[in-house]
Structure 1
Amino acid sequence: MTASKEESSKIVVFDALATEPCVYTITFDYKTLGQLQADFIGKKLNGKGNVLEVRGMAGNAVDEEIHQAVIAGLAKFPGIKVVGSVRGNWTQTIAQKEVGGVLPTLPEIDAVATQGGDGWGVYQAFKSAGRPAPTIVMGNRQDELKLWDDLTAQPGGYDTFSVSSAPGIASVAFWVAQQVLAGKHAPNEMIMPLLTIEGKDLKAWLASTPQGGVATPVYSQQYAVDLIDANAAGRPVPPPVPPSGG
């Protein structure tokens, strides 16, 4: 968004990078996304097991940041081995195809690290290969949350979590632009918390996510103010809260 006078332009960019002095960027900490997965998998497997990594698009900075964090995090668990890596391109059908193609060459897989949006496809690949479903980190898409909910209802349940960026960042960018144009001081770079969904909140998030959609909080003007203030002060931003009833 820009002000009416070119000399006083104010531009807000969300979930992307920009360096001009007039630009305010709002993005997610993708390094944390990788770290959260590595910590969860390491503890879930008690520090020992085989992991398959499903990455995003080659040459993308977000993919590389998540990948490096996953590898560094898993390195803390010497008994865990990354035995395979494929490019799912953040797309269910591609993830299913690529994982299905590599599975015959892999040993038993205990967990799958993903980058968001490919958990459903990964599961379908294991199912088609007649192999037991490992622990798959989900990525907040409705089909992934529904799959997780269905698996949880089966005997023995299914223990995982879901993490990704949230589409609602667009509305945060709108409110940040409104605040900046109203004269509020804001840092040029602001980090938003990722949306992490745990099992106890799964049904609430699933109920609030439309079919084919991606889970996202409803961000208010006040949230944008809190985001600006927290980033300016260098303190943590409160995480998104589950939908009503969560």
Structure 2
Amino acid sequence: MDRPDWAPKDVDIEKASAARLYDFFLGGSYNFEVDRELGRKVAAVAPGVYDFTRLNRAFLRRAVAYLCDQGVDQFLDIGSGIPTAGNVHEIAQKANPDARVVYVDNEPVAVAHSDLLLEGNPNAVAIEADLRDPDSILGHEKTRQMLDFGRPIALLTVAVYHFIPDSDEPLALAARYRSALPSGSYLALSHVTMDAMGEQVRQLIDLYRDSQNPVTARSKAEFTAMFDGFDLVEPGVVFTPQWRPESPEDVGPHPEESAVYAAVGRKP
């Protein structure tokens, strides 16, 4: 497979990645044929995947806007993916030009393009690191320079934990990040589930098994457990289009077809 000029030298172009698949489903161009091939297979058995990703992205935008309204001006976005319209720093810095953002992803393509996008922006940086290594993120020089851990921080882990298998102890990871956040901080999460659209999600999981990022779906109770130590803000745990929609039309007649739970919590 030919390597595009824009692809970092250390990126694996032989195996599909979650970040590049997400970019493909959102209509982006920073993906490889191996990603597009798998993306087409996924869409053939789970045509709702385009809505899954679109509605999840819309939840992220609404969550960031809500957090800005609460006075939050620091954001740690882990699993940020490949830059696309409506990035966290664009929303946050429109509300507050001094808002600071740290993007984190373990996909070299995502980090490389984030670096390009952020050139000339002194209040936003990107680092290459993995959610499963909290110390490498929380203790990173760029993180410490950009974020003040003495003031509230919004931790965004949107559509990420379903790539963390049970063997990597997701609840312990969530607790480690919670312990690092000061009082008044927020956590925004979304996570794929088989509680709805079960057959499509099952087939999606089967196809993702051979990618760099296999998927583990979780129930509403398992998802809610990730907010231990946080007070859920209204409307609590819901499907992505139900979380503070801008209009009833945004919810539609079957919000459960998003197949993704979403919620935001505040640390007391």
TM (norm. structure 2) is 0.37
Asked which structure has the greater CA Rg, the reply is 1
TM (norm. structure 1) is 0.40
